Amino acid sequence: VYHEEIRTEIRKTSFVAVMADDTTDVSEHIQISSIPENQTADGISKRILERLDIILQGNGQKLIAQTFDGANVMKGKKAAVQGKIKVVYSIAHFIHCYAYQLNLIMRNAASITRNARIFFSNILAIPTFFSRSPHRVLILKMHMEVSIPRPSSTRWNFNIRTINRVHENLQPLINCLAEIQSTEERKVQKLLSKYITTLPTDLKHKLTSYHSKPPHLHGLPKIHKAGIPLRPIISSIGSPCYTLAGFLHRILSPSAGKSDSVVKNSAYFLQLLKTVNLHSQDTLVSFDVVSLFTIVPVDEILQIIENKLHDDVTLTERSMLQVEAIMDLLEVCLRTTYFQFEDKFFQHNDGMAMGNSLSPIVSNIFTEHFEKIALDSAQYKSSLWLRYVDNTFVA
């Protein structure tokens, strides 16, 4: 409807001008209503002329002006967009977008000195920092009655709104950021400071979390099952223990997969089956552990891993930390089990979360330990026992 209204107004008016530009949406992605496949002067001008022909219906004297940004592909008098449009609409004079030029001048002036560049970069990043986390927005609203407007990448005068809002609410903003630095984040920082003489400074800085966000729950559809139920996943990306968990994963990895029953992948499984000799009285069965990650007892697995690390003669080759230090860091990761769903927070009582990078390796170590005890103490022995994570193949 509004397209037709615009066309009607254009048909009634004596003269029109055309302006082409892009803009950013609320997620800071560049948007444009019409994107040519060939994003050169030829492609862009062709797309603009196609649209103009629909609206102006061949009236070459109606278009009196055109305006674009200052890019060479747009403003050149002959080979650029404005020149190609002027071939068809001879009186469509080019008017430069002076706001674009002013933006370039101010942006370049602000980036000449390092201190100014860092200052504007930090200030203008504050709205983005809050917009990426509903939890941070909630805390901000507790400290400030007004929001912090987003800056503009193409309109320098818009940035002053962001700077003024930060200046006017500096202390509430500082209090807000102090609260956002979560208890779990401070716990990790305090623990890492214990090993300041052991860990290299750059590694300690890398493992220390700053401005982290809480783990959040989402569902992963199980499309292979009836009704397509959801598998609950707790994404820990950006959480207080995320980087530390990755560091510990590399230390623990060689401690898993030592059992003869472990199947590495399907190709390895098929290779193993070629060596199996079954008898007529043998029965093939398969077992599956229900919700393996979430039933791993944290206290018990911590003791199992500690014993394994003490017995590992190669540990010093991949870690400068003593076993006690590794266990301190690991315990924090395994016991930090809170997560966010919508605007509420929850806590795991025990077990490992789906989505934690440590869950697969820790669960595998526990399964190997439990499996060995079960098989060694079983009254009746199987002739074949193979396992891939939580699925077994038994004869």
Residues 6+ apart with CB under 8 A from 234: 215, 216, 217, 339, 353, 354, 355, 356
Residue 335's closest CA among 188, 204, 198, 232?
Answer: 188
pLDDT digits (tens, 9 = 90+) for 11-30: 888 888 888 776 655 555 55
For the chain, what are the domain ranges?
A: 1-96, 113-181, 186-394
Amino acid 99: pLDDT? 67
Amino acid 358: pLDDT? 92
Amino acid 145: pLDDT? 87
Q: What pTM was estimated for this model as a whole?
A: 0.56
Amino acid 341: pLDDT? 83
Residue 1: other Cβ atoms inside 10 A: 5
DSSP state of 259: S
Handedness of CA 203, 209, 210, 213 (dihedral sign): positive
As given in the structure block, the two tokens for residue 166 are 């930060």
Residue 143's closest CA among 177, 176, 180, 181?
Answer: 176
Cα(206)–Cα(243) distance, integer angstroms: 8
Burial-class residue 242 by CB neighbours within 10 Å (0-12, 13-18, 19+). buried
User: What is the gyration radius of the CA atoms in the chain, in angstroms?
Assistant: 31
CB crowding 290-300: b at 16 or more within 10 Å, else e: eebbbebebee
Stretches in the chain below the pLDDT threshold 70: 1-2, 22-37, 69-73, 75-77, 99-100, 132, 152-158, 181-183, 343
DSSP-based three-state secondary structure for 352: coil
As given in the structure block, the two tokens for residue 143 are 């400290």
